[in-house]
A and B are shown apart, each in its own frame.
Chain A
């Protein structure tokens, strides 16, 4: 069983935000993955999807399912993160006020993704794309 699906995520596209995570959740359910694991993947993916919508110039969420592993890759087109250590701190956020009014931007996204995942890596620098690789053991 090998699956690879890619979803385009638009900058500031709040109307569509969450639809990729919703689709991924449904795919995993069809594959018979356990409910607890699906929830961890769904939460991490949704956080990553919201981050692309809120902070980036747009990008993609890619789901890969290989035997024993589920991998979510979130790759945007910039503008990159100046200080990854700060971004990983709970409560640190650069989200604008209108995003906070929607209930997001509490600075919990990246730490929450890491907590949900079995393996988590982030690659970014200012002026470059950000890539998150989030891996779950099945």
Chain B
């Protein structure tokens, strides 16, 4: 799914990475625990999270995650956004809660990422 479609479905704001909005995502991982995010192994995964700090961006960088949706209207600070910009990561912000965001994306055809031990 195209990131513009993700943005439209979640009624999300683009917080950074406008130029990379034509990128695609194939799966979603939704979680506030970065330790668990580090344990899956798929490409083109969208991270949906309510945790907002620079470590979320670092985790995405290590995992080659190119797009993150912050839910529940959480707004990242400047340091977090700058780190995302440096790494070419798209950041979207939605007022939807995590459950609703996932429901909308799942209903629209985006399935969950598998964790490595599966």
Contacts and interface: CB of A to CB of B under 8 A. Distances in A.
Interface size range of chain A in the complex: 20 to 34
Contacts of B53: 102-103
B35 A108 contact: yes
Interface of B: 32-39, 41, 51, 53-56, 58-59, 61-64, 116-117
A43 interface: yes
A18 to B, nearest CB: 4
Contacts, number: 65
Contact of A46 (B32, B54, B62, B116): B62
B35 A46 contact: no
Contacts of B37: 103
Contacts of B54: 18
A47 B38 contact: yes
Interface string A66-110: 000000000000000000000000000000000000111111110
Contacts of B38: 43, 46-47, 108, 112
Contacts of B64: 35, 39
A106 B33 contact: yes
Interface string A11-50: 0001001100110010000000001000100110111000
B interface SS class = helix
A100 to B, nearest CB: 8
**Top 9 A-B pairs, shortest CB-CB distance:** A106-B35, A18-B58, A103-B34, A42-B62, A108-B35, A46-B62, A103-B51, A112-B39, A43-B62
A39 B59 contact: no
Interface of A: 14, 17-18, 21-22, 25, 35, 39, 42-43, 45-47, 102-109, 112, 115
B5 to A, nearest CB: 25
A22 B58 contact: yes
Nearest to A45: B62
Given A102-B55, A103-B53, A103-B55, A108 B36 contact: yes
